Chains A and B, each alone.
Chain A
Amino acid sequence: MNHLSLETIDRFIRFEAPGDAVLAETFAIAPDPVEFEFLGELYRQIITAIRLLADTRGEAWLFVGPRELRAAENWGLHHIVRGIDGAASVIKALDEIITEGEGGQRDIPTSHWQRFKRIRGALANELGADPTFTPAHPVVDNPSTRPRPGATLLDGIAREVAELFNHLYTTVLLLLGQYYAPAGETSPQRAEIQATVRRSMSAILRPIMEILTGIPVGEGIPRRCAGAPFEVYAPVQLATNAVARWAVLDERLERAADEAEQLAGGSGLERLRFIAENIALMRDAVRRVGAGEGVGVAGPRI
């Protein structure tokens, strides 16, 4: 992870660049390593595999599991995840992803590739006019709470807030796992889980990331600041039954709310107090959903 710069944008442009499809080898007993240089290549390999397996094995063999887990999802603000009912819909969805990224056969100005190129051009122009122009927080490279190669080890309050972020990030991953791999959770509970994930990204994760970018790191000039590490301390492991899952979430959110409150008190990071309240609200919501009570209107209204 690096802060925004011409080099960072170059990486995005390279990753989203249109590339030729590479056929996947799917018949070895051990899986072939997935090799790709462009994002589009990866998706084309998946399309090839889906098409091959659907043709040779049939769709009934290929698509297993509850149908409701393949239904369309509305994440609000026009973010719709397409429902999957067969190979054709999978391929159509993946084609859309490729088109969104690369632009597809036609040169689409809204593709990620074209957008990154425009951003790069605009930034290069600004830097040409003013080489000191700084478009982003000067976040250190690969911020981390644990020593590892290539990382910038955070310390002090930056590390404590970063650990809180990691803890909550993993909690949201657990929620997502619970949403996509239910073990007895009802449909209304899944809808509330989805809503809670969506809400927590705006009300909790993003604000903590912003707080981190306000914490200076080191004494060097130019000034550098902390950032969100997105570290996961252990494999994200869902409990096998829903009761245990709710208990784990409750405990994690309880601890996070307490930690955020304590950090707010001792650090002068006043915004953390607001976030501590939000974490407590999230804990209450999860507690009610786990108990089978409704929380309210789960679906996005806008």
Chain B
Amino acid sequence: MRSGGLGPGKGWALLVLGFEGWAQCRLATDPDPSDEPRGVSGWTYAVAGEPDLDRILRFQPEGATPRTPGPRIGVAVNRHAAHGRPVDPSPLHGVPVTLLDAPVFDGRNGLSHEDGQEPIVPFHIRIEGAGVVLDRRHVDAMGRPIGTIPGSATAPAGPISPGAPMKDDWVRFRTERRRQLKEALERASTPLEKVALERRRRACVPDEKAIATKSLGFALGYEIPLAGPDPVVEDPAGILGRVQAGAAWVARFVVGIWDADALCAYVRGQLEVPLHDGP
């Protein structure tokens, strides 16, 4: 993370909720049109038995199409700090972080934004659990929900998840996935399963020059101001502190480690919410 860091926030009057986990985005890739439903010419595709690609970035398993073998989908709060001090243990640890309103990486084959620079459109984040709700959307100066300016697509300084593949491990990661797919294929019982797994196995080539391998090194950094006029803050037990609902919040996160086989990416970042002075 380049901007803001992953520490407990810049200001002492700040609520910081860190989050991480695997997300899924079933999107077609160049040269397929961005709204291509199955994936024909690019390096991502829907396999037999799966619904059409829909481009939606999902932080939670609802509506996702998890692939086995593949990561477990779910982004959750893993860190809680307020006024510059960690809150540990926190009842918010493990609470799901969700993106609402079916957001997509809106690049339009580069007509809108080039690969690796796509805004997430719309951006509407919700953290709900342990009796708490934080919910707000990004709104630009014209009142339209749009994306924001992602950072450069350079890899973060270190692994953003324990066990996540770094450059030297990309080929090993793909080799291991290919082996897992072969095993799953041997266990598969239905023709549909076999066709789907065989399609994935054929595509999962551990070639260090292939885009689908190099994508494990992708990292898109986002810093999204949340100034929507309708923030939702529910905190009857006073876990969050005294939230300044009117001030802009900020979501900073990295979407990286694109697992082209599972159509998943690892998300790590934090939501920053201004607090009134004093506990």
Which residues of B lie under 8 Å from residue A77 when comparing CB positions? Answer: 30-31
User: Contacting chain A: which of B10-18, B114-122, B157-165, B224-232?
Assistant: B114-122
Q: Pick the contact of B33 from A203, A282, A285, A300 — CB < 8 Å?
A: A203
A278, A281, A302 interface centre (most CB from chain B within 10 Å): A302
B112 neighbours in A (Cβ, 8 Å): 281
Given the known interface contacts A199-B111, A200-B111, the answer about A296 and B117 at a Cβ–Cβ threshold of 8 Å is yes
On whether A282 and B111 interact (CB within 8 A), knowing A77-B30, A202-B31, A302-B30, the answer reads yes
Give chain B residues whose Cβ lies under 8 Å from the Cβ of A285: 111
Within 8 A of B (CB), among A261-302: 271, 274, 277-278, 281-282, 285, 296-297, 300-302
Give bound CA distance, A271 to B113, whole Å. Answer: 20
Given A202-B109, A278-B108, residue A301 in contact with residue B33 (CB < 8 A): no
Interface flags for B19-62 (1: CB within 8 Å of A; 0: not) read: 00000000000111111000000000000000000000000000
B31 touches A274 (CB 8 A): no
Contact at B111–A207, with CB atoms within 8 Å?
no
Q: Mark B197-215, 1 if CB is under 8 A from A, else 0.
A: 0000000000000010000
Q: Does B110 contact A (CB under 8 A)?
A: yes
Q: Chain A 25-66, CB within 8 Å of chain B: the 1/0 string?
A: 000000000000000000000000000000000000000000
Docked-complex contact A203 and B116, CB < 8 angstroms: no
- A139 → chain B closest CB, angstroms: 17
A205 to chain B: closest residue by CB: B33
Q: Is A76 positioned at the interface, with any CB of B under 8 Å from its CB?
A: yes
A195 and B108 contact, Cβ closer than 8 Å, known pairs A77-B31, A207-B33, A301-B115: no
Whether B33 and A198, one on each chain, are in contact in the complex, defined by CB atoms closer than 8 angstroms, is no
- Bound-state CA distance A201–B109 (Å) is 9
Number of A-B contacts (CB under 8 A): 52
CB distance from B252 to the nearest CB of A (A): 22
Interface size on A, residues (CB 8 A): 25
What are 22 A-B contacts with C-beta separation under 8 Å?
A: A77-B30, A199-B109, A201-B31, A202-B30, A202-B32, A202-B109, A203-B34, A203-B111, A207-B33, A207-B35, A210-B33, A271-B35, A278-B108, A278-B109, A278-B111, A281-B108, A281-B111, A281-B112, A296-B114, A301-B114, A301-B153, A302-B211
- Given contacts A301-B114, A302-B30, 14 further A-B pairs with CB under 8 A are A201-B31, A202-B30, A203-B109, A203-B110, A206-B33, A207-B33, A271-B35, A277-B108, A278-B108, A278-B109, A281-B111, A285-B111, A297-B117, A302-B115
| Docked CA distance A46–B272 (Å) | 65
Bound Cα distance from A76 to B109, whole angstroms: 12
Contact B114 A297 (CB under 8 A): yes
Is B33 a contact of A202 with CB atoms below 8 Å?
Answer: yes
Complexed CA–CA distance, A206 and B30 (Å): 12
Residues on the B chain within 8 Å of A199, using CB? 108-111
Contact of A198 among B34, B35, B110, B117 (CB under 8 A): B110
B:60-89 near A, CB below 8 Å: none
- Enumerate chain B residues within 8 angstroms of A207, measured Cβ to Cβ: 33, 35
**Most A-side CB within 10 Å, residue of B108, B117, B153, B211:** B108
Identity of the chain B residue whose Cβ is nearest the Cβ of A76 in the assembled complex: B30
Contact with A along B98-140 (1 / 0, CB 8 A): 0000000000111111111100000000000000000000000
Q: Give residues of chain A (168-204) contacting chain B, Cβ–Cβ below 8 Å.
A: 195-196, 198-203
* Chain A, residue nearest B113 (CB): A296
Which residue of B is nearest A296, CB measured? B114
Q: Please name all residues of chain B whose beta carbon is closer than 8 Å to the beta carbon of A282 when the two chains form the complex.
A: 111
Q: Which of B111, B113, B114 has the most CB of A within 10 A?
A: B111
Question: How far apart are the CA atoms of A206 and B42 in the complex, in Å?
Answer: 13
**B residues in contact with A196, CB < 8 Å:** 111
Q: How far is the CA of A52 from the CA of B115 in the complex (A)?
A: 45
Measured between alpha carbons, how far is A196 from B111 in the docked complex, in Å? 7
- In the complex, which residues of chain B have a beta carbon less than 8 angstroms from the beta carbon of A300? 115
A198 to B31, CA, bound (A): 9
Taking a contact as CB atoms under 8 Å apart, the answer to whether A274 and B30 are in contact is no
Alpha-carbon distance A302/B115, docked complex (angstroms): 8
User: Which chain A positions have C-beta within 8 A of B35?
Assistant: 207, 271, 274
